[in-house]
Structure 1
Amino acid sequence: MSTITTEELAETTLLRFATAGSVDDGKSTLVGRLLHDSKSVLTDQLEAVERVSASRGQEAPDLALLTDGLRAEREQGITIDVAYRYFATPRRRFILADTPGHVQYTRNMVTGASTAELTVILVDARNGVVEQTRRHAAIAALLRVPHAVLAVNKMDLVGYEEKVFAAIAEEFTAYATELGVPEVTAIPISALVGDNVVEPSANMDWYGGPTVLEHLETVPVAHDLSHCHARLPVQYVIRPQGPDHPDYRGYAGQIAAGSFHVGESVTVLPSGRASKISGIDLLGEPVDVAWTTQSVTLLLEDDIDISRGDLIVPSKDAPATTQDIEATVCHVADAPLTVGHRVLLKHGTRTVKAIVKDIPSRLTLDDLSLHPHPGQLVANDIGRVKIRTAEPLPVDSYADSRRTGSFILIDPNDGTTLTAGMVGESFAAPEPVKDDSEDDGWDF
């Protein structure tokens, strides 16, 4: 059997990161500068930006136009939706999510940062740390984003003063540390001019750290999910037809966390049936081991009943199954989420019926205070919920695995995504009160 070498893995290293910050802090300009200066912009794209900029009387191209793609964004000069961009350098591949800065688009930032391994939070050097900066830092902490970059932008407008940068970096780092953000890297930049974005700045010789791109290229992502508990949500059962594969039965899916190897004892959840891995197919070829984010097909020694929605895990490291889930959620739908709400809960590849049994608290991101028992969550609210599912689910704590510790709630009537959830304690919730509501016949 063949295996993928460490060198080959390094060549495919991918970093997912998100940008965040207040309105007009220069997020889209920073993204545009990264794309432009790293030679990741196609000629026709750059020409289109230059034409639009010239029509507005601007001498230099407005690089924010490379990411603000919606007509409303271009007209208002703000970012509304999450803009994903894909680019690569010789050292690493990137998926970038440029998220909005307005308070009413908090849910968009949650969407963009939910899969990010790093968040770039911009601050206008003239304004320093503001309310929205603290809000975005809190969201990054709640989502367990392991790396944070504080990009102090528009340094050219404060005379490239070191003391301005140092004061902002100290204030933000202290706040982020209080939130539990594990790592903060502060970088003084000017996205408009290009200082310390891709190339080192000649205007800030007092700064000896990395540029934004250099940090993105070198920040370790080994923490990833390769060292987490191994999990494979089954997406599809493969049964090839024909005489060449008379007994083939494979269980296909993308490895959500950890690694699997041939000969390993595994358990299928929620049924609890056990077997051993007899083979692993990757891109049509047999391999000895497979790891996080690879799409593989597992073959087992025993012919047991497995279907889409099941979870294959190492027998020595199986999560408990439960019908009672307590989680931190961000409500993303316009219609409110209320106690007693009947929903569908999607966890991995499995979808089950569920009821919202309680909403113990809502988080006020401005000062991280808790409003107990709000009764409902409206769009952009973050709070605690208790959910009862119709069937047992094998869930991890979000602190242990961002993939198998997360879920979404769906409206069963029209399929609208209502809420994004993170299992376990992300912030301290007040003591719940006894639910004295009458039985509505939906207890599972």
Structure 2
Amino acid sequence: MSTTNHTEDLGVLRFITAGSVDDGKSTLIGRLLYDSKAVLSDQLSALSRAKNKRTVGDEIDLSLLTDGLEAEREQGITIDVAYRYFQTVRRKFIIADTPGHEQYTRNMVTGASTADAAIVLVDATRVTTVDGKTQLLAQTKRHSAIVKLLGLQHVIVAINKMDLVDYSEQRFNEIRDAYVELAAHLKLDDVRFVPVSALKGDNVVQASESMPWYAGEPLLPLLESLPVRRARHALRFPVQWVARQDGHLSDDFRGYMGRVESGEVSVGDTIVVLPANREAIVAEIIAPVPGGTASVDRAFAGQCVTVRLAEDVDVSRGDTFVSTNDVPTPARKLEADLCWFDEEPLSTQRKYLLKQTSNTVFARVGAVRQVLDVHTLSHALDRHSLKMNDIGSVSLTLQKPIVADEYDTQPATGAFVLIDEATHHTVAAGMIRAASN
């Protein structure tokens, strides 16, 4: 029999855990790390002596592997986004353990913004039944809506604490059916369900003997096999800095530093500088290498490089290099989805700073189109503001045009944050749905 499936490198999978407080997110990640042998012996020794552990005797509190802040350990809740890295024979993983409390929704959005998949935890003991209908918690709905807004490719619903409901297949089916209805409403595409006990290790790394009725894969093999689509987007290279070596010499060096947000660029390519709409040829690409920098032939999405052009073109921070076969029209008007973070509600009477890639421009919210009610999943059309943790659709007018794309097609240039000009607080994260001049 071929062993290709066991040795094929499937690349890095970035995923988050999401759910309500005490659903067991940190414990689940701890169990993944522990059972996959990704925890060092000195870490285990330190955990067994931890003063804030919530287990009895010598039993290890696996949640402490991710709850790194002292305040988290004392309160028993996750506050910050904790990133953990581990690998198996088949794949490398980057995990973001995100807070479940509504107060820390912004942290969950931060963790989800770069993820490929989400594990949504549902506590089997906390889901209620009203008039014969299974009711999911509001935070489960909120986090699922954010997962949809951010365009994550896969959702795994881990129905946790099955040991506390006697590993009931009926209970699993009730919760699964309720989430299937939620997923259909939100239009989530790829949703899978796994019954687990993070505390006991059932169906986390190994199949559970206590749930013989479950015919699917345990959580880790499922994560190992998830396909990750890496779309080949057109070039977007926002200029972060203009580097000058010596302005008075005839062989003056002028390089444009930044990160390739999407696509790729090669020496000899003709690019377009926006918003000036000027064409130029790439003369040189300089990239970091061990011990310094070196000229390279090509640069890809995610790389930080310096680009030198053959022509003298007026380029400043905030300008964007794009490919000649995909030249967007810089936009001053945006339609966007916002997740509001600030205690101070959104006001259509004030200006905000909109930061997108290396651009920062003044923006004004012209109208709040609708606001999502996470309890009923309906959209309120009579709301004209957003309060903390609301998700809504808005229109914005910018002081000057920016190179903007729809988030679904170009996430790097389709995302932004709003900043309060007076307090400098980041008040919202936004996803562009339409852009126009």
TM-score category, normalised to shorter length: 0.7 to 0.9
CA distance in 2, matches of 1:13, 1:235: 29
* Greater alpha carbon shift after TM alignment, 49-58 vs 340-349: 49-58
Q: 1:279 to 1:359 in 2, by over 3 A?
A: same
Could you tell me how far 1:17 is from its partner in structure 2? 1.4
State the shift of 1:247 in Å: 4.7
1:371 Cα deviation after fit? 2.2
Instruction: Choose which of 38, 44, 47 in structure 2 pairs with 1:46.
Output: 44
Provide the rounded CA distance (Å) in 1 between the counterparts of 2:383 and 2:139.
Answer: 23
Tell me if structure 2 keeps the 8 A contact 1:53–1:62: no
Partner of 1:235: 240
> 2:363 touches 2:399 (CA, 8 Å); kept in 1?
yes
2:19 and 2:121 in contact (8 A); partners too:
yes
Q: Distance in 1 between matches of 2:328 and 2:218?
A: 41
Instruction: Select between 159-168 and 59-68 the one with higher mean Cα deviation.
Output: 159-168
Is 2:197 aligned against 1:190?
Answer: yes
3-state SS in 2 of match to 1:390: strand
Secondary structure of 2:49's counterpart equals helix
Q: How does 1:144-183 map to 2 (within 5 A)?
A: 144-183=151-190
Question: CA offsets, 1:338-397, max 9 Å, x none?
Answer: 012211111101111222222232221222222235332221111122221111111001
Q: Is 1:255–1:293's contact at 8 Å kept on the other side of the alignment? A: yes
State the shift of 1:63 in Å. 0.7
Match in the other structure for 1:28 = 26
**1:275-321 per-position Cα deviation (integer Å, ceiling 9, x unaligned):** 22233333234433332212222232222121221111112102221
Cα 1:275–1:156 change in 2 (3 A) is same
SS of 2:412's equivalent? coil
Match of 2:102 in 1: 103
Whether contact under 8 Å (2:52, 2:73) holds in the other structure is no
Q: 1:254 maps to what in 2?
A: 259
Residues 32-91 of structure 1: CA deviation (Å, up to 9, x unaligned): 112222333343332222112797661311111122233332233222332233333444
Alpha-carbon contact 1:280-1:299 (below 8 Å) kept: yes
Structure 1 residue 127 displacement after superposition:
4.0
CA contact (8 A) 1:32 1:63 kept: yes
SS in 1 for 2:427: strand
State the SS of the aligned residue for 2:284: strand
For the 8 Å contact 1:20–1:122, the answer to whether it is kept is: yes
Deviations 1:377-431 (A, max 9, x none): 2211111222211111110011112221011111222322111111116xxxxxx
Partner of 2:277: 272
Question: What per-residue deviation string (whole Å, max 9, x for no partner) do you get for residues 322-353 of structure 1?
Answer: 11112111111222220122111111011112
For residue 370 of structure 1, what is the aligned residue in structure 2? 379
Q: Tell me what 1:391 maps to.
A: 400
Q: Give CA deviations for 1:220-253 in whole Å, capped at 9, x if unaligned.
A: 22x23x4123211112223345999935433222
Q: Which residue of 2 aligns with 1:117?
A: 116
Residue 131 of structure 1 aligns with an amino acid whose one-letter code is: A
CA distance in structure 2 between the partners assigned to 1:252 and 1:292 by the alignment = 14
SS of the residue 1:363 aligns to: strand
Compared with structure 1, are the counterparts of its residues 250 and 212 closer, same or farther at alpha carbon in structure 2 (3 Å cutoff)? farther
DSSP 3-state at the match of 1:52? coil
Other-structure match for 2:146: 139
| Equivalent pair of 1:53/1:61 in contact (CA under 8 Å) | no
Work out the CA distance in 1 between the residues paired with 2:183 and 2:385.
Answer: 28
Kindly indicate whether residue 266 of structure 2 is the aligned counterpart of residue 292 of structure 1: no
Q: Structure 1 357/55 Cα, relative in aligned 2: closer, same or farther at 3 Å?
A: closer
Distance 1:261 1:55 in 2: 53
Deviation at 1:190, TM superposition (A): 1.3
Corresponding position of 1:428: none
| 1:164-209 Cα shifts (integer Å, max 9, x gaps) | 3344333323421331212112222211111222233333344343
Output the CA distance in 2 between the equivalents of 1:230 and 1:249. Answer: 21
Question: For 1:199 and 1:381, how far apart are their aligned partners in 2?
Answer: 39
Q: Secondary structure at the match of 2:411?
A: coil
The answer as to whether partners of 1:28 and 1:65 remain within 8 angstroms in 2 is yes
Classify the secondary structure of the residue corresponding to 2:110: helix
Secondary structure of the structure 2 residue equivalent to 1:308: coil
3-state SS of 2:325 partner = helix
RMSD, aligned CA: 2.7
* 287 and 228 in structure 1: CA distance in 2 versus 1, 3 angstrom threshold: same
The answer to whether the 8 Å contact 1:331/1:380 transfers is yes
Paired residues of 2:121 and 2:157 also in contact (CA < 8 A): yes
In 2, the alpha carbon distance for the partners of 1:190 and 1:343 equals: 45
2:357 equivalent among 348, 364, 376:
348
Question: Between Structure 1 and Structure 2, how many residues are aligned?
Answer: 415
Correspondence 1:422 to 2:420: no
- List gaps (5 residues or longer) in structure 1: 1-9, 426-443
Cα gap change, 1:64/1:274 in structure 2, threshold over 3 Å: closer, same or farther? same
TM-score by length of 2: 0.86
The alpha-carbon distance between structure 1 residues 326 and 177, as it changes in their structure 2 partners (threshold 3 A), is: same
8 Å CA contact 1:278–1:300 kept in 2: the answer is: yes
Distance 2:15 2:143 in 1: 14
Aligned equivalents of 2:381, 2:25: Cα separation in 1: 34
> Structure 1 residues 54 and 304, CA, compared in 2 at 3 Å: closer, same or farther?
closer
User: Which amino acid in structure 2 is aligned with residue 115 of structure 1?
Assistant: T
TM (normalized to structure 1)? 0.85
